[in-house]
């Protein structure tokens, strides 16, 4: 891939980032210093991601991993694929803006080559993963499609007709899991992914929501604080439903928007499922309340735990949670124990003192400039072509 092609990818991911940020804004929370910890994690990623992903891609190819991941309850999906460029690019943006006077030619040649490598592997992974053959949800037309016909058939074959009341009960239980999963990742969506929409009839769509790395008391906790007295019935959960006379759009951080928003009355069939061993098995609708109850209890435990931490500890925890997202890749090739998932001392010493006093990185000023400026100078900085 030459520089011009790489810069084409940078322009595209800048558009993705701008769209996501326009939807969500700079993230704020009464509990976690979210914007601050994201920045710290991105600087750490800029320093360390290349070395980790170089080891991953030495053991598999993006095409092989994509093929393996086009399944139910996979850790590699639209959001974790987006990780490949998002955190590194924001760390790079901060370094160029704050330290190199926005002059990309001053970035060390080694770092430019690392960035090209990361983008090339991401492009290969993404175009192999999405059924559209495109490299993002945005370029696919705001659809997140990866499942094959066999997987869709399994979902449809195991679906049961449901009433509006049943759907509301399922959504309440799953909503509790959603909130717990969000809090455990320090108020991030890392455990949550939505898929679809798959057309299954003239006026019906199939959409899927999945949760992975939930704490069920078995095996090593995902994060140092994940262990709670409350345990979910399993570490994974999926819910698929067919919806009549509705539409759904998706973004590259794995979020689904269904119109109309109050769609419970339009759901015709539903199946929930989990993984037991290496096999995906359906769950009964009557099994879902146990997930919701355990999630509510675990969320309460985590909230009380986090509320006792000071800003620095919360910041480092959030930064670690973001960085550990790449363990989804190292797990796939069996090298997770070889990687240090703590935020490096050098990054902590350099950036944490600033974010203890400030709630945003000045580099984010690059977002929201006039459109004509961002055409020639995208938010995430082009590589110099000369």
Helices (H), 70-148: 78-99, 109-129
CB 133 within 8 A of CB 184: no
Tokens 């509510």 appear where?
Answer: 296
User: Angle formed by the axes of helices 34-59 and 78-99, to 10°?
Assistant: 120
Q: Where are the domains of the chain?
A: 3-142+310-376, 149-307
Q: Are strands 256-259 and 204-211 parallel, antiparallel or unpaired?
A: unpaired
pLDDT at 119: 98
- Per-residue pLDDT of the chain (386 residues), as tens digits, is 899 999 999 999 999 998 887 776 555 568 999 999 999 999 999 999 999 999 999 999 999 999 999 999 999 999 999 999 999 999 999 999 999 999 999 999 999 999 999 999 999 999 999 999 999 999 999 999 999 999 999 999 999 999 999 999 999 999 999 999 999 999 999 999 999 999 998 899 999 999 999 999 999 999 999 999 999 999 999 999 999 999 999 999 989 999 999 999 999 999 999 999 889 999 999 999 999 999 999 999 999 999 999 999 999 999 999 999 999 999 999 999 999 999 999 999 999 999 999 999 999 999 878 888 888 899 999 999 87
| Closest alpha carbon to 180 in 292, 30, 45 | 292
> 3-state class of 9 per DSSP?
helix
Rounded-to-integer distance, Cα 93 and Cα 101, Å: 11
> 3-state class of 260 per DSSP?
coil
| Closest alpha carbon to 183 in 38, 293, 82, 34 | 34
Tens-place pLDDT, residues 111-163: 999 999 999 999 999 999 999 999 999 999 999 999 999 999 999 999 999 99
Mean pLDDT over each residue of the chain, to the nearest integer? 95
Rounded-to-integer distance, Cα 249 and Cα 263, Å: 14
Tokens representing 386? 């000369």
pLDDT at 186: 96
Question: 10 Å Cβ neighbour count for 242?
Answer: 24
Question: 10 Å Cβ neighbour count for 276?
Answer: 10
CB 85 within 8 A of CB 124: no
CB 327 within 8 A of CB 339: yes
pLDDT at 371: 81
Question: 10 Å Cβ neighbour count for 349?
Answer: 9
CB 254 within 8 A of CB 77: yes
DSSP state letter for 286: G
pLDDT at 22: 72
């Amino acid at each position: 891939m030459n520089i011009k092609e790489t810069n084409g990818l940078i322009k595209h991911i800048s558009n993705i980032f701008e769209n996501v940020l326009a939807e969500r804004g700079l993230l704020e929370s009464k509990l976690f210093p979210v914007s601050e910890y994201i920045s710290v994690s991105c600087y750490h990623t800029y320093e360390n991601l290349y070395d980790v992903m170089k080891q991953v891609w030495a053991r598999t190819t993006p095409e092989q991993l994509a093929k393996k991941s086009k399944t139910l309850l996979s850790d590699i999906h639209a959001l974790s694929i987006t990780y490949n460029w998002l955190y590194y690019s924001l760390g790079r943006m901060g370094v160029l803006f704050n330290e190199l006077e926005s002059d990309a030619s001053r970035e060390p040649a080694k770092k430019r080559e690392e960035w090209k490598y990361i983008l090339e592997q991401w492009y290969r992974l993404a175009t192999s993963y999405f059924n559209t053959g495109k490299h993002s949800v945005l370029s696919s037309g705001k659809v997140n499609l990866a499942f094959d016909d066999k997987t869709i058939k399994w979902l449809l074959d195991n679906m049961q007709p449901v009433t509006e009341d049943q759907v509301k009960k399922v959504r309440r239980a799953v909503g509790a899991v959603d909130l717990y999963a969000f809090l455990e990742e320090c108020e991030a969506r890392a455990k949550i992914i939505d898929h679809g929409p798959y057309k299954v009839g003239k006026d019906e769509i199939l959409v899927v929501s999945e949760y992975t790395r939930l704490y069920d008391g078995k095996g090593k906790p995902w994060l140092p604080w994940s262990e709670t007295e409350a345990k979910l019935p399993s570490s994974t959960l999926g819910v698929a439903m067919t919806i009549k006379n509705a539409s759904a759009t998706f973004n590259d951080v794995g979020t689904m928007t269904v119109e109309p928003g109050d769609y419970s009355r339009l759901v015709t069939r539903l199946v929930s499922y989990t993984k037991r061993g290496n096999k995906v098995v359906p769950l009964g609708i009557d099994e879902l309340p146990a997930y919701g109850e355990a999630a509510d209890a675990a969320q309460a435990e985590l909230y009380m735990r986090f509320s006792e931490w000071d800003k620095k500890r919360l910041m480092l925890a959030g930064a670690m949670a973001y960085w550990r997202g790449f363990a989804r890749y190292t797990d796939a090739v069996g090298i997770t124990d070889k990687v240090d998932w703590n935020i490096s001392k050098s990054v902590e010493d350099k950036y944490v003192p600033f974010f203890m006093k400030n709630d945003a990185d000045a580099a984010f000023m690059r977002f929201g400039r006039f459109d004509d400026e961002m055409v020639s100078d995208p938010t995430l900085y082009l590589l110099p072509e000369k």
